[in-house]
Amino acid sequence: MLKGKTALVTGSTSGIGLGIAKALAAQGANIVLNGFGDIEGPRAEVAALGVQVAYHGADMSKPAEIEDMLKFAAAQFGRVDILVNNAGIQHVARIENFPVERWDAIIAINLSSAFHATRLALPAMQKANWGRIINVASVHGLVASAEKSAYVTAKHGVVGLTKVTALENATTGVTCNAICPGWVLTPLVQKQVDARAAAGGISNAEATKQLLGEKEPSLQFTTPDELGALAVFFCSPAGNNVRGVAWNMDGGWTAQ
Protein backbone atom coordinates (compact mmCIF):
# COMPACT_ATOMS: atom_id res chain seq x y z
CA MET A 1 0.00 0.00 0.00
CA LEU A 2 2.85 2.42 0.78
CA LYS A 3 5.35 1.30 -1.85
CA GLY A 4 7.28 4.29 -3.12
CA LYS A 5 6.52 6.34 0.01
CA THR A 6 9.06 7.38 2.62
CA ALA A 7 8.39 7.48 6.36
CA LEU A 8 10.55 9.32 8.88
CA VAL A 9 9.96 8.04 12.42
CA THR A 10 11.65 9.89 15.26
CA GLY A 11 12.75 7.95 18.31
CA SER A 12 12.50 4.72 16.34
CA THR A 13 15.42 2.57 17.50
CA SER A 14 13.19 0.85 20.09
CA GLY A 15 9.70 0.64 21.55
CA ILE A 16 6.72 2.37 19.95
CA GLY A 17 8.77 4.11 17.26
CA LEU A 18 10.34 0.88 16.05
CA GLY A 19 6.96 -0.86 16.07
CA ILE A 20 5.46 1.87 13.90
CA ALA A 21 8.47 1.92 11.57
CA LYS A 22 8.18 -1.84 11.03
CA ALA A 23 4.41 -1.63 10.40
CA LEU A 24 4.93 1.06 7.74
CA ALA A 25 7.83 -0.89 6.21
CA ALA A 26 5.63 -4.00 5.99
CA GLN A 27 3.37 -1.92 3.73
CA GLY A 28 6.33 -1.03 1.50
CA ALA A 29 7.43 2.37 2.82
CA ASN A 30 11.13 3.21 2.88
CA ILE A 31 12.14 4.20 6.41
CA VAL A 32 14.36 6.85 7.97
CA LEU A 33 15.16 5.79 11.53
CA ASN A 34 16.22 8.16 14.32
CA GLY A 35 17.23 7.57 17.91
CA PHE A 36 19.98 6.47 20.27
CA GLY A 37 21.43 3.18 21.49
CA ASP A 38 21.61 0.14 19.24
CA ILE A 39 21.18 1.23 15.63
CA GLU A 40 22.23 -1.79 13.59
CA GLY A 41 19.70 -4.15 15.22
CA PRO A 42 16.65 -2.00 14.42
CA ARG A 43 18.04 -1.21 10.96
CA ALA A 44 18.33 -4.93 10.22
CA GLU A 45 14.79 -5.61 11.52
CA VAL A 46 13.32 -2.99 9.19
CA ALA A 47 15.51 -3.91 6.21
CA ALA A 48 14.37 -7.54 6.56
CA LEU A 49 10.92 -6.34 5.47
CA GLY A 50 12.31 -5.61 2.01
CA VAL A 51 12.55 -1.81 2.07
CA GLN A 52 15.36 0.74 2.02
CA VAL A 53 16.43 2.01 5.42
CA ALA A 54 18.44 5.09 6.35
CA TYR A 55 19.40 6.44 9.77
CA HIS A 56 19.97 9.93 11.11
CA GLY A 57 21.06 10.54 14.70
CA ALA A 58 19.54 14.00 15.17
CA ASP A 59 19.25 15.15 18.77
CA MET A 60 15.55 16.00 18.86
CA SER A 61 16.12 18.83 21.33
CA LYS A 62 18.10 20.77 18.69
CA PRO A 63 16.19 22.44 15.82
CA ALA A 64 19.29 22.66 13.62
CA GLU A 65 19.80 18.90 13.83
CA ILE A 66 16.11 18.26 13.07
CA GLU A 67 16.47 20.45 9.97
CA ASP A 68 19.55 18.51 8.93
CA MET A 69 17.62 15.24 9.34
CA LEU A 70 14.79 16.43 7.07
CA LYS A 71 17.33 17.51 4.43
CA PHE A 72 19.06 14.14 4.76
CA ALA A 73 15.77 12.27 4.28
CA ALA A 74 14.97 14.32 1.18
CA ALA A 75 18.44 13.67 -0.24
CA GLN A 76 18.09 9.94 0.37
CA PHE A 77 14.53 9.38 -0.85
CA GLY A 78 13.23 12.57 -2.50
CA ARG A 79 10.92 13.70 0.28
CA VAL A 80 9.20 12.63 3.49
CA ASP A 81 5.66 11.42 2.75
CA ILE A 82 4.89 10.19 6.28
CA LEU A 83 6.24 11.91 9.39
CA VAL A 84 5.83 10.15 12.72
CA ASN A 85 6.72 12.40 15.65
CA ASN A 86 7.42 9.86 18.35
CA ALA A 87 10.59 10.89 20.22
CA GLY A 88 10.00 11.30 23.93
CA ILE A 89 11.57 11.24 27.39
CA GLN A 90 10.10 11.21 30.89
CA HIS A 91 10.88 12.47 34.39
CA VAL A 92 8.69 12.01 37.45
CA ALA A 93 8.63 14.51 40.34
CA ARG A 94 6.27 16.92 42.09
CA ILE A 95 6.16 20.40 40.55
CA GLU A 96 7.98 22.08 43.44
CA ASN A 97 10.78 19.52 43.14
CA PHE A 98 10.88 19.27 39.34
CA PRO A 99 14.39 20.05 38.02
CA VAL A 100 14.17 22.99 35.62
CA GLU A 101 16.58 21.38 33.17
CA ARG A 102 14.40 18.25 33.00
CA TRP A 103 11.32 20.40 32.29
CA ASP A 104 13.18 22.16 29.46
CA ALA A 105 14.43 18.87 27.99
CA ILE A 106 10.99 17.21 28.05
CA ILE A 107 9.27 20.20 26.44
CA ALA A 108 12.00 20.37 23.79
CA ILE A 109 12.00 16.68 22.88
CA ASN A 110 8.35 15.74 23.47
CA LEU A 111 6.71 18.88 22.05
CA SER A 112 8.95 21.36 20.26
CA SER A 113 10.60 18.66 18.14
CA ALA A 114 7.18 17.74 16.70
CA PHE A 115 6.62 21.37 15.71
CA HIS A 116 10.03 21.68 14.06
CA ALA A 117 9.78 18.40 12.14
CA THR A 118 6.21 19.25 11.05
CA ARG A 119 7.04 22.75 9.80
CA LEU A 120 9.96 21.37 7.80
CA ALA A 121 8.07 18.40 6.32
CA LEU A 122 4.87 20.23 5.35
CA PRO A 123 6.00 22.17 2.24
CA ALA A 124 6.92 19.03 0.26
CA MET A 125 3.74 17.26 1.38
CA GLN A 126 1.64 20.26 0.36
CA LYS A 127 3.37 20.44 -3.03
CA ALA A 128 2.64 16.74 -3.66
CA ASN A 129 -0.89 17.10 -2.19
CA TRP A 130 -0.33 13.95 -0.11
CA GLY A 131 1.15 13.51 3.30
CA ARG A 132 0.55 11.94 6.68
CA ILE A 133 1.71 13.45 9.95
CA ILE A 134 1.20 11.12 12.89
CA ASN A 135 1.99 12.47 16.34
CA VAL A 136 2.51 9.95 19.10
CA ALA A 137 0.92 11.76 22.03
CA SER A 138 -0.27 9.75 25.01
CA VAL A 139 -3.27 9.16 27.17
CA HIS A 140 -1.54 11.98 29.06
CA GLY A 141 -2.44 14.25 26.17
CA LEU A 142 -6.07 13.76 27.26
CA VAL A 143 -5.89 13.34 31.04
CA ALA A 144 -3.30 13.99 33.74
CA SER A 145 -1.39 12.06 36.37
CA ALA A 146 0.40 13.47 39.39
CA GLU A 147 4.17 14.04 39.27
CA LYS A 148 4.27 14.20 35.45
CA SER A 149 3.83 17.94 34.91
CA ALA A 150 6.27 18.31 32.01
CA TYR A 151 5.18 15.15 30.23
CA VAL A 152 1.45 15.91 30.57
CA THR A 153 1.99 19.50 29.44
CA ALA A 154 4.00 18.40 26.42
CA LYS A 155 1.52 15.71 25.38
CA HIS A 156 -1.47 18.06 25.75
CA GLY A 157 0.52 20.41 23.53
CA VAL A 158 1.06 17.68 20.95
CA VAL A 159 -2.70 17.10 20.76
CA GLY A 160 -3.23 20.83 20.24
CA LEU A 161 -0.54 20.97 17.55
CA THR A 162 -2.22 18.00 15.85
CA LYS A 163 -5.54 19.82 15.65
CA VAL A 164 -4.03 23.03 14.27
CA THR A 165 -1.96 21.15 11.67
CA ALA A 166 -5.05 19.23 10.57
CA LEU A 167 -7.14 22.39 10.26
CA GLU A 168 -4.53 24.32 8.31
CA ASN A 169 -4.35 21.48 5.77
CA ALA A 170 -8.01 20.40 5.85
CA THR A 171 -8.67 21.05 2.14
CA THR A 172 -5.52 19.25 1.00
CA GLY A 173 -4.33 15.67 0.80
CA VAL A 174 -2.24 16.18 3.95
CA THR A 175 -3.69 14.84 7.19
CA CYS A 176 -2.50 15.03 10.78
CA ASN A 177 -3.65 12.84 13.64
CA ALA A 178 -2.43 11.79 17.09
CA ILE A 179 -2.14 8.37 18.67
CA CYS A 180 -2.70 8.38 22.44
CA PRO A 181 -1.48 5.10 23.98
CA GLY A 182 -2.06 4.08 27.55
CA TRP A 183 0.57 1.85 29.11
CA VAL A 184 2.90 0.32 26.51
CA LEU A 185 5.72 -1.90 27.73
CA THR A 186 8.59 0.16 26.35
CA PRO A 187 12.01 0.66 28.01
CA LEU A 188 10.62 3.94 29.43
CA VAL A 189 7.71 2.15 31.15
CA GLN A 190 9.86 -0.80 32.21
CA LYS A 191 11.93 1.65 34.26
CA GLN A 192 8.78 2.72 36.10
CA VAL A 193 7.85 -0.92 36.74
CA ASP A 194 11.36 -1.66 38.04
CA ALA A 195 11.32 1.41 40.29
CA ARG A 196 7.94 0.44 41.73
CA ALA A 197 9.13 -3.12 42.40
CA ALA A 198 12.28 -1.86 44.13
CA ALA A 199 10.46 0.76 46.20
CA GLY A 200 7.78 -1.68 47.36
CA GLY A 201 9.98 -4.74 47.76
CA ILE A 202 7.68 -6.66 45.42
CA SER A 203 8.13 -8.78 42.33
CA ASN A 204 8.22 -7.32 38.83
CA ALA A 205 4.99 -9.17 38.02
CA GLU A 206 3.21 -7.68 41.04
CA ALA A 207 4.53 -4.20 40.20
CA THR A 208 3.21 -4.58 36.66
CA LYS A 209 -0.20 -5.67 37.98
CA GLN A 210 -0.34 -2.66 40.31
CA LEU A 211 0.68 -0.24 37.57
CA LEU A 212 -2.00 -1.46 35.16
CA GLY A 213 -4.64 -1.81 37.86
CA GLU A 214 -4.42 1.85 38.86
CA LYS A 215 -5.25 3.22 35.42
CA GLU A 216 -5.95 0.68 32.68
CA PRO A 217 -9.20 -1.34 33.05
CA SER A 218 -8.15 -3.93 30.47
CA LEU A 219 -5.19 -4.88 32.71
CA GLN A 220 -3.04 -5.36 29.64
CA PHE A 221 -0.41 -3.33 27.85
CA THR A 222 -1.06 -1.88 24.42
CA THR A 223 1.62 -3.24 22.05
CA PRO A 224 3.85 -1.41 19.56
CA ASP A 225 2.39 -3.70 16.87
CA GLU A 226 -1.13 -2.47 17.65
CA LEU A 227 0.01 1.14 17.50
CA GLY A 228 1.77 0.41 14.21
CA ALA A 229 -1.47 -0.98 12.78
CA LEU A 230 -3.27 2.25 13.71
CA ALA A 231 -0.54 4.28 12.00
CA VAL A 232 -1.02 2.17 8.86
CA PHE A 233 -4.76 2.88 9.00
CA PHE A 234 -4.09 6.64 9.12
CA CYS A 235 -1.96 6.22 5.98
CA SER A 236 -4.59 4.16 4.14
CA PRO A 237 -7.34 5.45 1.82
CA ALA A 238 -9.76 4.80 4.71
CA GLY A 239 -7.91 7.51 6.64
CA ASN A 240 -8.23 10.18 3.96
CA ASN A 241 -10.80 12.18 5.91
CA VAL A 242 -9.65 11.35 9.43
CA ARG A 243 -8.25 14.70 10.48
CA GLY A 244 -7.19 16.13 13.81
CA VAL A 245 -8.21 13.21 16.00
CA ALA A 246 -6.54 12.16 19.23
CA TRP A 247 -7.13 8.40 19.03
CA ASN A 248 -6.67 6.72 22.38
CA MET A 249 -5.54 3.09 22.61
CA ASP A 250 -5.64 2.88 26.36
CA GLY A 251 -7.59 -0.19 27.49
CA GLY A 252 -10.43 2.01 28.75
CA TRP A 253 -8.26 4.44 30.76
CA THR A 254 -10.04 7.60 29.57
CA ALA A 255 -13.49 5.94 29.49
CA GLN A 256 -13.59 5.87 33.29
- Those residues whose C-beta lies under 8 Å from the C-beta of residue 124, and which sit 6 or more positions away, are 74, 79, 80, 131
Residue ranges of E strands in 171-256: 174-181, 246-249
- Those residues whose C-beta lies under 8 Å from the C-beta of residue 126, and which sit 6 or more positions away, are 169, 172, 174
55 is catalytic: no
Distances, alpha carbon 36 to alpha carbons 41, 69, 86, in Å: 12, 14, 13
Active-site pick, 151, 183, 221, 253: 151
CA-wise closest residue to 136 among 256, 10, 4: 10
Distance CA 191, CA 92 (A): 11
Exposure letters 82-96 (e unless 16+ CB within 10 A, then b): bbbbbbbbbbbeeee
Q: Hey, which residues are catalytic here? A: 151
